[in-house]
Amino acid sequence: NINGTAFRKGLGTHAVSEVVVPLNGAQTFRASVGLPTYVGTSGSVVFQVWDGSKKLADSGVIRGGQPAKSMVVDVTGRSNLRLVVTNAGNGSTQDHANWGDAHLVTTTTTSAPAEAQAAPAPTSVTTTTYVSDTAYRVVRNGSSLVEK
């Protein structure tokens, strides 16, 4: 949870952390980020989303006790993401960091075969895959294990 708000799935990390996530054709990454309730008003972190050496998103400093912040990142055409948590430059005491409901969104559109007499409208299917259900790889994670 983040400041009392529960999330069905996600990743729990500790600064400084880095998790690599395969995208498998996804177009969007979404998560609610923040510190878990049990740290109270302690701790401060920055959540970042990277593609290689290019930063795609940055939460700014988030402190314990603050509500979750939404991150929505266009990842079209990318193969992997790096989910990074820093200690906000002031040490890592109580810097627990949750990626609440972190998931990938993939939309696939199909059209009728060329030989069809009356062309039906294209069909779109949207799939949501939680990051915790992917073959993510932990590069580093502060002083603890990554929690699902």
pLDDT of residue 112: 63
Considering the entire predicted model, what is its pTM? Answer: 0.89
CB 36 within 8 A of CB 12: yes
Output the six-digit token pair for 37: 């309730």
How many whole angstroms separate alpha carbon 14 and alpha carbon 91?
Answer: 12
Q: Which residues of 117-143 are buried (b: 16+ CB within 10 A; e: fewer)?
A: eeeeeeeeeeeebebbebebeeeebbe
pLDDT value of position 115: 64
- CA–CA gap between residue 148 and residue 142 (Å, rounded): 16
Nearest CA-CA partner of 92 in 21, 146, 147, 144:
144
Alpha carbons 73 and 28: distance in angstroms, whole number: 6
CB neighbours (10 Å) of residue 103?
21
- pLDDT given for residue 118 in this prediction: 64
CA nearest 8: which of 143, 97, 99, 139? 99
Which pLDDT band, with edges at 50, 70 and 90, does 141 fall under?
Answer: confident
The pLDDT value recorded for residue 20 is: 97
- What percent of the chain clears pLDDT 70, i.e. is strictly above it? 93
Are 126 and 107 contacting, i.e. CB atoms less than 8 angstroms apart?
A: yes
